[in-house]
Chain A
Amino acid sequence: MHAVVSIKQVPDTAEVRIDPRTNTMIRSGVPSIVNPEDVHAIEEAVRLKEQFGGKVTIVTMGPSQAVAAIREAISLGADEGVLCGDRGFAGSDTLATSYVVWKALERLNREEPVDIMLCGRQALDGDTGQVPPGVATRMGWPQLTSVLKIEEIDFVKRFVVVQRMVEGGTERVRAQLPAVLTCTRDLNAPRYSTFPNMVRAARYQPQAWDKVALGIADDDPNIGLRGSPTIVSKVWAPAPRQRTNQQRIDGSDPERAAEELLNVLLEHGVGKRPSTSTAVGVSR
């Protein structure tokens, strides 16, 4: 079994601070982490390896610092890692990113056929969830997003049955392998690194793949800024909605405060049955 896990190094957004003058993110001193849902993807791949034997390969596109993300994945049990980096990749949006990750997946698949690709559902920094569908579509593999559970997987008969989160419930889906899955936190509880894996990770040097290694021509229109249809045109601070007639109610006497609140609610129509009926065509 060969599982490829696509991971992204992201700033720990809980710590992000904004420069109020320039409206830009203050990056210095912000710690980087492996995108949290990608850690669940790594865990799931390592579990598959433990169950079926085989290999887990990590792929990431990013700057040279992203080697830290690969090392973390190795410490969690992955076997190999590939860091896709090239000046030409700078400024990639999700479409251009999915192109490079797809190229890497194609090469890995040529060298050692891939049975399953696992990704995170969404990256913490962009929150788009667009890279995995991009890779799956380019590869012509089925995509199963927001996976809660792998119910059944068979690498001989080449299918997988998953539960995925959908609006209003859960869906059980069967897909042919190879497939691209995006992982949620419900999928598993990631383990801690073991000491031998940590030692291995500390020394680990991932393969570095640039344009040439990925078979991407210099003038390929699909990469970097050129290959990115979207741009961020501006970042701005939204004006908060102005609320008029704000009132404070003193809560030191709870009964009196409750009485005042009751009047507020009644004033705003609580307890009255609205005369309007449900509008035609509004479905829930």
Chain B
Amino acid sequence: MTAPTAAPTEAARDFSDHKGIWVYVQHRAGVAAPVAWQLLGVGRTMAQQVGVPVAAVVLGSNVKHLCDEAIANGADTVYYIDDPVLNDYRTQPYAYGMASLIRKYKPEVVLYGSTIHGRDVAGAVATMVKTGLAADATQLEIEEEGHLLHASRPDFGGKLMSTILCKRHRPQMATCRPGVFPTPDPDPARKGEVISESLGLTEDDVLTRVLEFIPETRHVDLSNAEIIVSGGRGLGGPKSFDILYDLAEAVSGVVGASRAAVMAGWIPYQHQIGQTGQTVRPRIYIACGISGAIQHLVGMQESDIIIAINSDPEAPILKMADYGIVGDMFQIVPALTRRLKERLAATGGPVGDAPTVVFVDEAEGEQEEQAG
């Protein structure tokens, strides 16, 4: 994961007073977003490479347990601000707290998830501390010399990668895609230090109030799915997605979609996988009636096993699939579901389980490859 040293273009500044890699712990009501731990994982790998500590930043009200979780997930230090003003996430007090911690403790790198929440806070913090913010990184590398962060992401519709550097300012900040970096195995026995700070704002200083949170009725948790059954324009209409839901149910999976299917209004946007949708890395990805445009591939190419069913033998998805089936999904998928149900009924498998079951895979062997 170490990057080659870039050619020196400017007189190097002395940043020796900035130390450590920080991860912002996004949470709602004390439940951390998975991306926080994913970033602690990659942050720790980089920190070990260059011999600096990795820290988590937890802001909230009565969320001490998140400090413990952060330590279990790899943080050496947790900077913690506990204040009733931080009960709901709001840009202003969160960005203020984050910026004060950054000014006081001077990290060299700060990572956020490129979620709605992460982008919301990071954009404000970057402006407050006047530093660079790379957006939506999918690869992170750090130079041993000077600890320059290389934050790369797909660009130009996913055809190319761009690498962003922040040479003259510290900290170097980036928002990073959820689901790209593997979640570390937490170790509850790990020890770490919690440093508490106060916020220094009162409720009267804050210009917004959260009135209500309305959870999505049907939560589509693609990023944690073990198996994804995905459909595209080849399905021809919304009704055909029932065929995929049947298979997904039989394998305890979740249904995904290409943008073409989403744009056609056959399935809601939350199901979209790809450059402008979600990035997923399930154990098994089954693509039905999806051609495999680059913008789709960037969102699922890290899946362990890719199965593609497509009637066109020239479809690009077949070229990258582990198992490519040239044929008609309208015939093959129902036949597969039927057989699967028969087989699993015979062996007492999890047929008909709620599709939200999440299995934690121990085999995270792709870490190296992932992070480049």
Contacts and interface: CB of A to CB of B under 8 A. Distances in A.
Interface in A214-255: 228-238, 240-241, 243, 245-252, 254-255
A274 interface: yes
Contacts of B123: 94, 128-134, 137
Contacts of B211: 161, 172-174
B191 interface: no
Tell me the dominant secondary structure on chain A's binding face: mixed
B117 A255 contact: no
B359 A129 contact: no
Tell me the dominant secondary structure on chain B's binding face: mixed
Contact of B37 (A127, A168, A173, A281): A281
Interface in B192-226: 207-216, 219, 221, 224
B119 interface: yes
Contacts of A165: 116
A178 to B, nearest CB: 10
B332 A257 contact: yes
Given A95-B132, A166-B116, A230-B133, A261 B162 contact: no
Interface of B: 6, 26-28, 31-34, 37, 68-69, 72-73, 90-92, 95, 115-117, 119-120, 122-124, 126-128, 130-136, 150, 154-157, 159-169, 183, 185-186, 188, 207-216, 219, 221, 224, 227, 251, 283-284, 301-302, 305-307, 309, 311, 318, 320-328, 331-332, 335-336, 338-340, 343-344, 347, 349-350, 358-362, 369
B117 A166 contact: yes
15 contacts: A130-B119, A133-B91, A134-B124, A136-B124, A137-B127, A145-B116, A166-B213, A179-B207, A229-B166, A230-B134, A241-B302, A251-B327, A270-B227, A270-B340, A277-B360
A146 B349 CA distance: 42
A171 B213 contact: yes
A167 B331 CA distance: 37
A126 B160 contact: no
Contacts of B328: 251, 254
Interface in A84-104: 93-95, 98
B360 A265 contact: no
Contact of B327 (A23, A130, A228, A257): A257
A258 B211 CA distance: 51
B216 A169 contact: yes
B127 A232 contact: no
A145 B135 CA distance: 16
A191 interface: no
Contacts of A189: none
A21 interface: no
Contacts of B339: 258-259, 262
A203 interface: no
A230 B327 CA distance: 48
Given A133-B122, A238-B160, A271-B349, 9 more contacts: A13-B156, A129-B135, A134-B123, A142-B207, A168-B28, A168-B219, A176-B208, A249-B324, A278-B360
A264 interface: yes
A255 B325 CA distance: 12
A250 B362 contact: no
Nearest to A228: B132
A101 to B, nearest CB: 12
Contacts of B213: 166, 169-172
A133 B37 CA distance: 25
A129 B119 contact: yes
A249 to B, nearest CB: 4
B165 A233 contact: yes
A93 to B, nearest CB: 7
A133 B127 contact: yes
A63 to B, nearest CB: 20
A279 interface: yes
Given A16-B156, A243-B306, A144 B208 contact: yes
Contact of B305 (A13, A14, A251, A268): A268
A170 B321 CA distance: 36
B349 A272 contact: yes
A35 interface: no
A283 interface: yes
A71 B267 CA distance: 35
Contact of B283 (A133, A145, A268): A268
B165 A230 contact: yes
A247 B73 CA distance: 38
Contacts of A271: 251, 340, 343-344, 347, 349-350
Contacts of B311: 251
A278 B127 contact: no
A110 interface: no
A13 B360 contact: no
Contacts of A241: 301-302, 369
Interface string A11-25: 001101010000101
Contact of B162 (A138, A146, A235, A254): A235
Given A127-B136, A144-B208, A161-B211, A278 B358 contact: yes
Contacts of B305: 268
A3 B167 CA distance: 37
Q: Among A167, A172, A252, A266, which residue has the most Cβ atoms of chain B within 10 A?
A: A167
A28 interface: no
B358 A284 contact: yes
A54 B69 CA distance: 52
